[in-house]
Amino acid sequence: MTGYSRLAQEPTETDKVSSETLCSKYIRIATVVAFYWFVSITMVFLNKQALNQVNAPFFITWFQCLVTGVMLFTFRVLDDWRSSKWMNNKCQESLISDNGVIKYCPLSVVFVAMISFNNLSLQFVGIAFYFVVRSLTPVFNVLFSYIILHKKTSVRSILCCMGIIFGFAMGVDQEQALGTLSAIGVLCGVLASMFVSLNSIFVASMLKVVDQNVALLSYYNSIIAVVLFIPFIMMNNEWHMIIAHLGDHHFWLIMATTGIFGLFISIVTNLQIQYTSPLTHNISGTAKACSQTILATYVYEQHKTFNWWLSNVIVLASSTMYTFVRQQEMKHTFQQHQQPPVNETRTDPEKGQTNI
């Protein structure tokens, strides 16, 4: 073998560096996805434990918003906020001037409804059935895109939504056959899915107001939500139950942990989207929900029928296909907008002639 052949087969220093860079990238992505799964699944189980311990869903949700708001405020104080990119003076003044509260209130109302119905659904249904109950968000995405945004949806997306609806209906039927169906839990799950869809629309519009600053929008949302939750806590007479648990250190430890994880979930969600893609994030979330269902049946020693598991598989497959189809449609639309019209004329700046 010649020296040239040996050199051709041996990896260069550049190849080694590229390989190490690619390897570190994969490790970073795997770490972010694993952390997202851990935080999200832990958050659901902690919420379920807190809701089972005290019948105060609005207070629990209010406390989580309070912890999130306090932590974000602490980050603001610790940071050099005068020169900070994530909370500049202009954005700070927008909440207290120019009808800032009125401007943010619609989003905060939707946000409060979303997390309230989400926790109410979790209170009345088991974690194993929670995935199916909360599976109708893509259906509402299609519905509100047509009603609010006046955007039509492809036949493929509609077929995927029909699959989700079929799996949802089958899951409800199987849960009823097992004698564990909660009509209130199902209703709250459907409403939670509806408000999740509405929340995404409102967030997209309000991010323009805060210069695409997710942290600042979460901060404002938490402040307003803390105020909006108080009437519901009063009307539901939850203060009496909370006073009775003032000396329960275990309960307050769970509450503080859920509050911290509530902030973590938004951070790791953004990290997963940043280091992967929206498509990978949605697929990861769907796979996480499937793993969460399996884990819940194991932890709580629940035995489900074949048709019950089949309903979960149908919802899982339909949701994944919907995500994939929507991603392909968005990519196709983007490519169409990037291409110049066929009859568009352009002038060559160097030759000074017009090309068709």
Segment 254-297, tens digit of pLDDT: 999 998 998 888 788 877 877 877 667 777 888 898 899 999 99
Per-residue model confidence as pLDDT tens digits over 100-138: 677 888 999 999 999 999 999 999 999 999 999 999 999
Distance CA 127, CA 119 (A): 11
Helix (H) or strand (E) holding 30: helix 13-53
Question: Would the pLDDT of 90 be above 60?
Answer: no
Name the average pLDDT for the chain: 83
Question: Would the pLDDT of 7 be above 50?
Answer: no
pLDDT of amino acid 203: 84
Show me where the domains of the chain are located: 57-83+94-334
Distance CA 319, CA 38 (A): 21
What is the arithmetic mean of pLDDT over 315-329?
90
Question: Would the pLDDT of 79 be above 80?
Answer: no
Distance CA 100, CA 219 (A): 13
CA dihedral 31, 35, 38, 43 (to 10 degrees): -170
Coil, strand, or helix at residue 346?
strand
Phi, psi of 354 (to 5 degrees): -95, 130
Residues 6+ apart with CB under 8 A from 280: 272
Distance (Å) of CA 221 to CA 54, 62, 224: 25, 12, 5
Helix, strand counts (H, E) of the chain: 14, 2
Per-residue model confidence as pLDDT tens digits over 41-55: 999 999 999 999 899
Per-residue model confidence as pLDDT tens digits over 295-305: 999 999 999 99
Per-residue model confidence as pLDDT tens digits over 330-354: 888 777 777 655 554 444 444 444 3
Phi, psi of 345 (to 5 degrees): -95, 145
Distance CA 38, CA 24 (A): 21
Question: What one-letter code names the amino acid at 212?
Answer: Q
DSSP letters spanning 184-197 = HHHHHHHHHHHHHH
What is the arithmetic mean of pLDDT over 179-202?
93
Phi, psi of 355 (to 5 degrees): -110, 145
CB atoms inside a 10 Å sphere around CB 277: 12
Task: Check: pTM over 0.85? Answer yes or no.
Answer: no
CB 137 within 8 A of CB 121: no
Grade residue 210 by pLDDT with cuts at 50, 70 and 90.
confident
